[in-house]
Amino acid sequence: MKVGILQRKAAWEVLQAVSAGAYADFALDRVVRKYGLKGVDRSLVTELAYGSIRYRSLLDSWIDHLGKLSANKQPPLLRLLLHVGLYQILKMERIPESAAINTTVELAKCSQLVKLAPVVNGFLRSVCRFIDLGKKLPSPIKTSERLAQEQSLPVWLTTDLISWCGEIQAENVAKAFNKTPSFDLRVNSIRESQKNVQRELQSEGIRSNYIEGIPNGLVLNNGLGDLQTWPGYSEGKWCVQDRSSQWVSPLLEPQSGENILDACSAPGSKTTHLAELIGDEGEIWAVDRSLSRLKLVAANASRLGIECINVLKADALNLLEEKPDWKGYFHRILVDAPCSGLGTLARHPDARWRMTPEKVDELVILQERLLNAIFPMLRPGGRLVYSTCTINPNENFRQVERFVSRHPQIKLQNQKQIWPCLEKGGDGFYAAVIENT
């Protein structure tokens, strides 16, 4: 196989898997393991696959404009292959146009698309000529449609974004969705200091910086190989957690010796953070419907050396029926609710194409039921934090304000929306602090 073909073939396979319904991160991991790709090869596959998925709508616009058939009329396999080639031409400046074209054509020749190799070659060359002439795709007049095309987002989402935060911030948020996400770590304060972890990583050539406003956070400036081989991983000195996610657990202000419930726990980054905040002294219950995901919670806790976490497979909607003695039992409760995930589109490139307004409406109903089911387990004087990784006010401010209006005995202490930020990085997150008076 010619140089550079394997990485493109792997990326193409990721696109095919996602098109068939797989989640991008799982598809990428499976393909990378299949071909044993590491280091720069893995990075290239990740960039090609995630970039092509992220910019799917924009790439389709180019096919619609310059192809003999529109994108939705192209054979699906050909359409995805054109995405791989197009993404390199449009978004990867370090890859020469000739390399992008030649490797994509070679992939066609080595596959069932062999007879369409001339089509691939002709289309990609026409794109390059179009760009060389200084031409651009026609831009829609309506702002939401223009933003959707330029930043490769569903029109319903750009329309909502503008209504939520105005045109200027909507543009910044949309651009942040397409920024490569930061790689953040949370230092395990029980086992090591932030300074020492930074020094150990530096000894292996892995550079990092402190994250403003996040006490135990580090952002990596580079990464070398498999993170499980990095200093401190096996000793449980740190874990991977986005900076915005690290902001949530401290809002509970948990104290040593308290009873704490994480009602939607898996995979457990916030659960283990809570355990670190109480010095591993107390009783934390990690609840989730998925046994396989609960195993991740247990595995993470074990690696981090945390012993105060108990896991329970249960549906949080029916938790009080299963555990009637938990009524009024917990000092602190975290409801990190299932949500649309619209704050994490940079990290999950396929999520923008999976979510729909109808699915959001269903999630709003589920979140309301969760809050109603979980709240009776909070003792008087206790604190509940409701959090999501979305930016949709129906799931956030409006959801919480409706909940508070139905319960006169509770007080909304504060609430905050963190938007995806182009300059500072971090996912979009929301959290509300609720007191049971």
Taking the C-alpha atoms of residue 383 and residue 306, their distance in angstroms, rounded to an integer, is: 23
CATH 3.30.70.1170, domain 184-240, yes or no: yes
Q: Is the sign of the CA dihedral 260, 305, 246, 154 positive or negative?
A: negative
Token duo for residue 186: 């949370």
Sign of the CA dihedral 416, 419, 422, 426?
A: positive
What contacts 85, CB < 8 A, 6 or more positions away? 100, 101, 103, 104, 120, 124
Which string of DSSP letters, residue by residue, matches 338-367? ----TT-TTT-TTHHHH--HHHHHHHHHHH
The pLDDT of residue 12 is 98
pLDDT digits (tens, 9 = 90+) for 383-426: 999 999 999 999 999 999 999 999 988 999 999 999 998 888 88
Q: Rounded to 5 degrees, what are φ and ψ at 383? A: -125, 135
Per-domain boundaries in the chain = 5-138, 184-240, 246-436
239, 264, 308, 389: the active-site residue: 389
pLDDT band for position 435 (cuts 50, 70, 90): very high
* Spatial contact of 275 and 308, defined as CB atoms under 8 Å apart: yes
Confidence tier at 224 by pLDDT (50, 70, 90): low
According to the model, what pLDDT value does residue 23 have?
96
Order of all β-strands in the sheet with 238-240: 208-211, 214-220, 184-187, 238-240
356-371 confidence digits (pLDDT tens): 999 999 999 999 999 9
Percent of the residues in the chain that have a pLDDT greater than 70, as a whole number = 99
339 is catalytic: no
**3 burial type by CB count under 10 A (0-12 exposed, 13-18 middle, 19+ buried):** exposed
Interval 117-155: pLDDT, tens: 999 999 999 999 999 999 999 999 999 999 999 999 999
Note the pLDDT tens digit of each residue in 33-76: 999 998 889 999 999 999 999 999 999 999 999 999 999 999 99
Q: Kindly report whether the peptide bond that precedes residue 267 is cis, defined as omega within 30 degrees of 0.
A: yes
Identify the DSSP state of 182.
P
**CATH among 3.90.1150.10, 1.10.275.10, 1.10.940.10, 3.40.50.1370 for 5-138:** 1.10.940.10
- 89 and 97 in contact (C-beta within 8 Å)? yes
> Which of 3.40.50.720, 3.40.50.150, 3.10.129.10, 2.60.40.420 is the CATH number of 246-436?
3.40.50.150
